[in-house]
Structure 1
């Protein structure tokens, strides 16, 4: 086959039309590799004999609505009846991965799912429609121009005859679209959209409401046993001796044994902590048995560690040259040190937990050199890679059933909990369901990194930035300066230092590192505005009026070649938020704070937080958000994402993060790790704009980075007190509340 087919059509034994979608790295790439005898077409669609449509997707659902949105893209171009559509996760295997070797294609994270799949699924929907039109025209005996698709049927315009998609299954299976037709596929105009851009409930909302949707925590397979692990008290500790005699007396307990510790530092592979494994006939039996274990631990390398010592260490590393990346443009540190018009500020962000609503869990069956997994994972691709490396098995022997997740936020990119379950299954010789507790999930998280930022700026007589520097010291490899610095300047220096702590493992959080970059940057810009005695929103306008072509861009500079585009977009969302939040009419009894950010230099967000005083308490009353993320597939889901992002961003600001003493996390459950509740949410006001009619750009994390600086800037506006610790307000919990 000289060219891989974009669509593969066949009739299944059930009578359904199978439509496989081949996804090359380029939609028009040429290949001499034959697909004969393989199932490398992905995702795939079934048109069933009852005229229903099943869409199988390789993106993972964790409450963000991605399965729904991806199916909407296909169905819009196909003109399918949405009420007949069901969407499913596609199981992961090496056969599928062979088509997607590029990083992240089969994973969900970084707000990339919709932008990456938009062109492919749009083409798929239009191509399937073209196949059905050709098949129907042949049946009608007319020209294809006389046919139109509507509500999962093809209608002949001149006669009003119609054929359901299901009635065309046999005919469509014999249609082959020429390459030039696929490459020049006509798409619907936005003005004709009937589904995309409309708020559409998820098609499994009834299952969710009734508690019928299967999450990882619900999963069971035949002959399955259960397991729980008593993990070491600190990172690096291991089992010395243990006594399981009392634990074995618990009814249902089958085995108790030690699991070796294996700490790693790979990308999304941090090893397993080890501990004491309890295997039984129920999770409850295992958890009861754990409480009866007597264990002596070998000392690790974290017993003297604390988060306060770590914070002090980070503050001492700003002038060191170890593990540093520097990006500089015309920067002269001696000039900034001698200038009279120089501003300096230091900011701190502590360790933050994921606190998933559904604690980690996995079902694994490891037998005869093959591994089968049932789990909620954001990254089946990385999971398969790590399983293959850990157990020395070929990826072809690994199959992963992806389940719905009760939250991911970057934590479920890691495979440690799945490797643990596979290790136990290998030893026991049975399918194992491993369930983490809430305490496990908090104590042994891959925490959002701690970071220390030192900012310096030298201003001219008009308040414009002559020189600007940021030194970021982080406990994560993706330390700082990863996002575009948007404001005009003549000289810039960004230093990113990495310090790996020995007592805690860190990883991505919702918004990855953009959250930390924006926190210090947007708070510091407010301080510059104060120095110049200029309204903070107007000062941002001033700094966005003259972006130069030499302006600094992050590691992924190719994403942002046209700096004028960046300028236009920031100015537009600022203009919108100024009106939307009624910024100019700020009463004296309230404070308003502004912050803005761009995610991947494509999705833009301007946010205003409003705070008031109620007696002696500071109250966060309202949060206004203007977001431009290009074409919105499902406005209801996008607004829900922004609301969730605001709750996510507010939680550490008002309730704090986690602390460590003697190598141990001091928080364990929601009694001492508070989360924002629905009753505590401020009033949320969201406006979605698409000022330049762009393609979808991603929205899952766009509103997280702006929350902390907007709130802290608002508190300064009200009280005159400046906070430079992201969770400083949490230290005054008796003075801080939120209201809805």
Structure 2
């Protein structure tokens, strides 16, 4: 939500005394409800202050390791002038009333950026109300007062009042319509590496994770799913399963048609038991006959054939500037081409997928770690056939997500089972379930052609084929490089498996080919790859008309694209200027070693560049990554401790996919099943990582995903510089490097 002047804060006094602030807007003000005792408002409250000065922050964003439960209260506390040691965190349940006030989902690296203005407004408004209460008590102008470390202070004196002492009176003053925000040079919390508020609870085993939920009379469930995408259940024999100690019941799970097409729930057979382990053991004793359906014979080779066929039938370009085809036919121009393959990737979560549900006849409660509680409500309501306002979602922390927990399939399944049993049920997936029934990163092939005239790159053509019918993050009008002649084509094809968001969504697919091909073009014209990028960013981007209708009052799409590309150009150039000023690219040039570079933006927001330093060695891979230096233009960094952690995590995540990723399909089944054949990077494989943030006064932008997309192309470019082997696909094996 972007806060405007029309936003205001509703203030109430807590039943036990104190101040509570609730953020809303006039259009939904009537939705606020208070009880007769004047206790907390039951709508979208973020901040309360008790008489002891304790400040309770209500977390509505999902915490999945990125630090949102600390970053958000840091912003609010900064404007408030709070004592950080007094901050307490509470997890707020999902409430549909939040929709429209705050972002209803957690993803797209958008939590901090979306909440930046609302949190500042909340903190600044509370600050002014506390100051007003103090000014009335002391009979001094409010302009003489300030807040610091949980106190209101009077300038020129030693007088001070704690927030707790002022809370009751502050609740009675008029809410200011306008507030001013602190200047960045006065920040005492924002920009500091503050420890995560949930660390202690996690360390002692009290982390609020979905897999830890425990309810009275709760039963446990596990589902054997059809191993082939969209296959169906024919019959099952549960005789031996029911003989397993602890197994109580076995039931068929039908094709639970979700409320949205992008969520498909596989048919299967559920084991109900007195423990998760009994349910797992009972599953192994099941005998099931499946109708494997039209996907039964699918495999990687068939997918490659479909991709190849799609590559021969492109129609009109999605975007065109200049006239690539006309220029190609003229003398003096030569064309180079390359094709890049980005495979399906699994999420490989540490905490297995799970959900707990309690169907109560006319209502249903869900306990789940989810990035999108509103989607849980929508789909569970359909699965158990009750109104959406009868669904309560208690959002839990997650042990990793990377886009996977955006999809509500476990909640749908748990709710359905609970309805049949009329008891609370915890559903837990096995590690094998999580990998074989994942929502995989889509498969993409990128075909690039470039036109060269002497020492200039004058044109580019790209043809994208993807097992998904949308291409956001890949369209070439989104990138900042300027080519006089440009064509972009897109062909979607049907996939053989579930597909969905993977860390950095689609941008990872688009970045691989684009950033590798820039290096190939640089080699052809004998130019340093970073210098070529500087050249392609030096020309002012021009307006290009788009053949799409606009409604009255709607901006011309060409103007939107122009503004977008100019913003990207500015941010990309700021990263390159920082790299040049710090000498980071030149520093990486070492005799006997190689270096690689790549950069990209994440959905037009944060721009990230990686410099990879590499050398040959006798390891299992044939080369060793010595160091990765990352530079990001991401606006103000609220907490550099979390920021660096997110960049480091993205790098390790992307390196795992580069070395060990990719999904194999055989006879319609996903071959990979656990960490033995879907490996993750080991600690001794992690190179030195150095992270730099470009100084900025702009509002914060995302950091959870932007470092993932440019990592793979930077490594592939480094491999070429080190070995002279040009690799254009993932994963990269020892055979690829040493062949």
1:277 maps to which residue?
A: 270
**RMSD across aligned positions (CA):** 2.4
- The question of whether the paired residues in 2 share the 8 Å contact of 1:234 and 1:663 is answered with yes
1:587 maps to which residue?
A: 590
Does 2:194 correspond to 1:192? Answer: no
Listed as ranges, the matches of 1:575-614 within 5 Å are 575-578=577-580, 579-583=582-586, 586-614=589-617
Could you tell me which runs of 5 or more consecutive residues in structure 1 were left unpaired when the two chains were aligned.
25-29
Does 2:715 correspond to 1:715? Answer: no
Q: Deviations 1:158-187 (Å, cap 9, x if unpaired)?
A: 44222211111211121222xxx43x3111
3-state SS in 2 of match to 1:500: coil
TM-score norm. by structure 2 comes to 0.92
> Structure 2 CA distance, aligned partners of 1:212 and 1:270?
32
2:52 maps to which residue?
A: 50
3-state SS in 1 of match to 2:538: coil
Listed as ranges, the matches of 1:368-447 within 5 Å are 368-447=361-440
After alignment, is 622-631 or 87-96 more displaced?
87-96
- The question of whether the paired residues in 2 share the 8 Å contact of 1:60 and 1:89 is answered with no
2:706 maps to which residue?
A: 702
Deviation of 1:35 (Å)? 4.0
Deviation of 1:370 (Å)? 1.0
> Post-superposition, which runs of at least 4 consecutive aligned residues in structure 1 deviate over 6 A?
551-557
Deviation of 1:489 (Å)? 1.1
> Structure 2 CA distance, aligned partners of 1:164 and 1:58?
27
> Structure 2 CA distance, aligned partners of 1:17 and 1:222?
35
Q: Deviations 1:475-498 (Å, cap 9, x if unpaired)?
A: 123336346222121121111221
Cα distance change on mapping 1:551 and 1:133 into 2, 3 Å:
same
1:78 maps to which residue?
A: 80
> Structure 2 CA distance, aligned partners of 1:16 and 1:275?
52
1:636 maps to which residue?
A: 641
Q: Deviations 1:173-203 (Å, cap 9, x if unpaired)?
A: 21222xxx43x31111111100001111111
Q: Deviations 1:393-446 (Å, cap 9, x if unpaired)?
A: 222111111110011111101011110000000100001100001000000000
Does 2:662 correspond to 1:657? Answer: yes
Q: Deviations 1:550-598 (Å, cap 9, x if unpaired)?
A: 3699999737616444333222212323445342661231110010111
Does 2:341 correspond to 1:336? Answer: no
3-state SS in 1 of match to 2:365: strand
> Structure 2 CA distance, aligned partners of 1:438 and 1:556?
47
Does 2:480 correspond to 1:523? Answer: no
Deviation of 1:331 (Å)? 3.3
Deviation of 1:60 (Å)? 0.6
> Structure 2 CA distance, aligned partners of 1:560 and 1:69?
33
Cα distance change on mapping 1:32 and 1:317 into 2, 3 Å:
closer
Does 2:8 correspond to 1:6? Answer: yes
Deviation of 1:346 (Å)? 0.7
- The question of whether the paired residues in 2 share the 8 Å contact of 1:140 and 1:156 is answered with no
Cα distance change on mapping 1:10 and 1:346 into 2, 3 Å:
same
Cα distance change on mapping 1:5 and 1:506 into 2, 3 Å:
closer
> Structure 2 CA distance, aligned partners of 1:351 and 1:292?
31
Q: Deviations 1:92-150 (Å, cap 9, x if unpaired)?
A: 123333656xxxx2111111111111111111100010111111111222221222211
> Structure 1 CA distance, aligned partners of 2:587 and 2:544?
30
1:34 maps to which residue?
A: 30
1:27 maps to which residue?
A: none
Listed as ranges, the matches of 1:548-627 within 5 Å are 548-550=541-543, 558=560, 561=563, 563-578=565-580, 579-583=582-586, 586-615=589-618, 617-627=622-632
2:357 maps to which residue?
A: 364
Q: Deviations 1:484-535 (Å, cap 9, x if unpaired)?
A: 222121121111221122x311111111111111110000000000110111
Does 2:69 correspond to 1:67? Answer: yes
- The question of whether the paired residues in 2 share the 8 Å contact of 1:485 and 1:552 is answered with no
- The question of whether the paired residues in 2 share the 8 Å contact of 1:559 and 1:601 is answered with no
1:314 maps to which residue?
A: 307
2:498 maps to which residue?
A: 505
Could you tell me which runs of 5 or more consecutive residues in structure 2 were left unpaired when the two chains were aligned.
35-40, 549-556
- The question of whether the paired residues in 2 share the 8 Å contact of 1:626 and 1:688 is answered with yes
> Structure 2 CA distance, aligned partners of 1:449 and 1:583?
36
> Structure 2 CA distance, aligned partners of 1:195 and 1:541?
36
3-state SS in 2 of match to 1:256: strand
After alignment, is 234-243 or 580-589 more displaced?
580-589
3-state SS in 2 of match to 1:417: helix
Listed as ranges, the matches of 1:163-182 within 5 Å are 163-177=161-175, 181-182=176-177
> Structure 1 CA distance, aligned partners of 2:91 and 2:18?
18
Does 2:472 correspond to 1:469? Answer: no
1:458 maps to which residue?
A: 451
* Match of residue 690, structure 1, among 695, 703, 707: 695
3-state SS in 1 of match to 2:350: coil
> Structure 2 CA distance, aligned partners of 1:83 and 1:409?
31
After alignment, is 308-317 or 706-715 more displaced?
308-317
> Structure 1 CA distance, aligned partners of 2:558 and 2:364?
36
2:114 maps to which residue?
A: 116
1:134 maps to which residue?
A: 132
1:666 maps to which residue?
A: 671
3-state SS in 1 of match to 2:303: helix
3-state SS in 2 of match to 1:155: strand
**Equivalent residue pairs, number:** 714
2:554 maps to which residue?
A: none
* Match of residue 676, structure 1, among 678, 681, 684: 681
